[in-house]
Chains A and B, each alone.
Chain A
Amino acid sequence: MTTRRDFFKIAGITAAGLMLGAEAILSPVHAKISLEEAIKKHLGVGLSAIKESNEIKVKAPSIAESGANVPIQVSASVPIEKVEALYIFVDKNPNPYIAHVEITPVNGEVFFATRIKMGATSPVRAILKLKDGSYLMAYKEVKVTVGGCG
């Protein structure tokens, strides 16, 4: 007879096994690039030099069922004349760099949407490069149940 206690024991072991399995599948065989390195490479500045701003809005689902296809949308209330480019990073992806968008005043306002791959639960980070050389950023945490970086 399975007692309640036994049931939890078995459930616990199974869950741990599943997690180990997932870890083995997701653990990358290639060299990972950290967010810090990726930002340094693409922006030329360190993460600590970028200040957070509530003028940027990152729209993404709080929970993504599939990491292969996560819709994201970035908009900002910063006047378009002041903005040079927009960068998107996913902190915990094997390569955090997603895209770099150079915008012009013809765009009317700061806006960019796409669908991205996410390997694991991670913040999705949007960084604005302003024409005066400064940077602003905002992020949104997205929980991923099944990774999609393959």
Chain B
Amino acid sequence: MASIGRAIVRVPRRVKKGQIFKVQWVIIHPMETGLRKDPKTGKKIPAHYITHVDIYLNGKLVTKIISSPGISKNPYFAIKMKAVESGTLKIVYEDNKGGKWEKSVNISVEG
């Protein structure tokens, strides 16, 4: 799983000021609960999941998601945002094994 922690983010290309738009993303991650057994060895697979995801716009916190292994493998998330200003939307996420990643996209607000 070399691509673990990779994220694909989808935002509208342009938004009008004041408009509410959707931000969606998928993170490549196994989201192991720690309860599942390896069918070959019969041993428990250690828990490995995303613990939290923070979304920032121009450095200001917009949303904080405290996640759990109850979220599906390769987690999908969607939130809404009000178009206030153009800038960089940064998604920062960590897992319980010390993995830390981030992904940024640009948002351009018109009018």
Contacts and interface: CB of A to CB of B under 8 A. Distances in A.
A41 to B, nearest CB: 12
Q: Chain B, interface size: which category? A: 20 to 34
A108 B68 contact: no
7 contacts: A99-B65, A106-B62, A107-B80, A108-B81, A113-B79, A115-B72, A115-B75
B91 interface: no
A109 B70 contact: no
Interface of B: 20, 22, 24, 33, 35-37, 57, 60-73, 75-82, 84
A117 B69 CA distance: 8
A95 to B, nearest CB: 7
Interface in A61-108: 68-71, 73, 90, 93-95, 97-108
Given A94-B35, A101-B64, A102-B64, A109 B72 contact: no
Contacts of B37: 150
B93 to A, nearest CB: 13
A95 B79 contact: no
Would you list the 6 A-B pairs with minimal beta carbon distance, nearest first? A108-B82, A150-B36, A113-B78, A98-B70, A108-B20, A111-B80
A93 B81 CA distance: 30
B63 A107 contact: yes
Interface residues of A, number: 34
